[in-house]
Structure formats: C-alpha cells, structure tokens
Structure 1
Amino acid sequence: MSYDENCPLCNPHKDKEQNIVLENETCYFLQHNKHQGVLEGSGLIVPKKHHIDAFELTQEEWNDTYELLQEAKKVLDKEYSPDGYTLGWNVGKVSNQEIPHSHLHVIPRYNDEPLAGKGVRYWLKQEGNRRLKS
C-alpha cells in the first residue's frame, strides 16, 4: 500500500482532532474538529492509499468512495438534518488543493447560512474570475 508518513490524510490516527467516522476496506470518512464551527458536519472521504488526486483512484477505491458517501449521508442526515449538500474534489494547487492526497469534500448545507444558495461553482462564475485574453 502506498503511504506517505508526512501526509496528514495517510495518518488520521496521529491527529487527536481528526475523527474517523466511517471506514471501509480502502477509504475513510473523516471529520476534523477545527472545521466543525463554520462547516458543521463537514468531512472528507479519503483513500487509505496515498494518491495525489482523484484521477489516480482505482475502481475499487471509487466503489468504496461511493459506498462511504451513501453511509456518510445517512449519518449526517440523522445528526445534522441539512437542507442540501455540496460535494467536491480539488485537483492541483490552482484549484485550492492544499493537501496532496486525494479527498472528496462532503459539506452539509443549511437554509440559514449566509451563503445558502451559493454552490461549488459560485466563486468561479464571478466576472472577476474571467481569464485575461492575450
């Protein structure tokens, strides 16, 4: 199994603030305490094997990601009763991937949020994000 001893997502047991909520053969669903204030209920689905991004996942890891996503939704629906979800992968620094380990963001959304109705592409669709033509 590929592993990076310096990667926080390869080592969720080493971070006392990281919670393994669900687990299957190849993946974890993690929730970190520091993200629960603003992003209540949010978490990550990560492969146990170190992959830089989602394009490196095996078919088994994709299947297990799907399985954990369905299980995570049940847990989050029961515990937080969100009004919707934002799901997303960041690949590369330009997309704001801060940790070079593949991870799927699972973010419960609520009608009473100041940014309710703003989805994963909201900031990307702003006129200020238009590329300069050369």
Structure 2
Amino acid sequence: MTYCPFCHPMRDPHQTIIAENDSCYFLMHDHEQDVLVGSGVIVPKEHRATTFELTPLEWQHTYELLHAAKLHLDERFHPDGYTLGWNVGTASNQTIPHAHLHVIPRYTNGPHAGKGLRHWLKRPE
C-alpha cells in the first residue's frame, strides 16, 4: 500500500478529524457511514499494522479518545448503544493495514438492531 488513509487523514476531503491527542485520531468519513450512521475509527498517528503493535501510550490515548468519541456521538446522533471492534489481519477482514478501532453507534430501530459481533460470527454460513 503506497498510500495509507489513516497515516494522512487530512489528505482525504471526505475524512474529518473529530478529535485527537498526541498519538491518536478519532476519524469520521463521509462515504464510509452509509448504513452505519455516525461510525468512526480511532487510529494511532504512527503507522501500526495491527493492534498488537500499539505502544502503552497509544493504548492510553485510544482509551481517552474512545470516551471523547462517545461524548461526541451521544450529543450528535443519540445512539441507543455501541459496537466496538478491531479487525486484525486479512482473516478478520482488516482491509487497511493500519490498526483502527471501529466505533459504531447502534440504534434500536436501525438495521441489524440487537445483532452484535457474536451474531455475525455464529451464523451457520
């Protein structure tokens, strides 16, 4: 990958830095939220291919941004819950090789309401 959208989020006019600290960003993208309204990702500013490469400080800053993201999303979108998740490696469907925590607001009347991560992983197909 010659261009990493998470290393240089300001290069994509559809991606917005909602919050940041010294080592991480909370990003939202205009074109990646279709069904998942209000979704965003928390990413380290330094390129880390997977979650297992995060430094202790990046973990701390991810935690801090997770709470900042929740405050922002609660105020703007008023979700009924959240799904949080890391995909690590291609077997887990990590399509961008830069560690990123998905922060997905969930809604009682939204598509797939009541179906979290375990639902999708336990499906027979």
For the criterion TM > 0.5, the same-fold answer is yes
Shift of 1:63: 0.1
Task: Please tell me whether Structure 1 or Structure 2 has the larger radius of gyration of its CA atoms.
Answer: 1
SS at match of 1:22: strand
Equivalent of residue 23 in structure 1, options 20, 25, 28: 20
Give the SS at the match of 2:82: strand
The aligned counterpart of 1:131 is none
Asked if 1:100 corresponds to 2:97, the answer is: yes
Runs of 4+ with deviation above 6 angstroms: none
The answer to whether the aligner puts 1:44 opposite 2:34 as a matched pair is: no
Deviates more, 1:92-101 or 1:115-124: 115-124
Q: Calculate the aligned-residue CA RMSD, in Å.
A: 1.2
Rounded Cα–Cα distance in structure 1 between residues aligned with 2:90 and 2:97: 9
Question: Paired residue for 1:57, among 54, 73, 77?
Answer: 54
- Cα deviation, 1:58-81, whole Å, max 9, x if unaligned, reads 000000000000011001001100
TM-score by length of 2: 0.96
Letter in 2 for 1:37: D
Unaligned segments of structure 2, at least 5 residues? none
1:1-134 paired onto structure 2 within 5 Å: 6-128=3-125
**Contact 1:5–1:11 at 8 Å: present in 2 too?**
no
Residue correspondences, number: 125
User: Contact 1:21–1:28 at 8 Å: present in 2 too?
Assistant: yes
State the match for 1:132 in structure 2: none
- How far the C-alpha of 1:5 sits from its partner, in A, is 6.0
Q: Deviations over 1:16-66 (max 9, x none)?
A: 000000000000000000023311110000000000010000000000000
Measure the CA separation in 1 of the matches of 2:54 and 2:2.
19
Instruction: Quote how far apart the aligned CAs of 1:127 are.
Output: 2.1
CA distance in structure 2 between the aligned counterparts of 1:104 and 1:117, rounded to whole angstroms: 21
Instruction: Specify the SS of the correspondent of 1:79.
Output: helix
SS of the residue corresponding to residue 10 of structure 1 reads coil
- 1: distance between equivalents of 2:46 and 2:63? 16
- Residue 68 of structure 2 aligns with an amino acid whose one-letter code is E
Q: What TM-score results when the alignment is normalised by the length of structure 1? A: 0.90
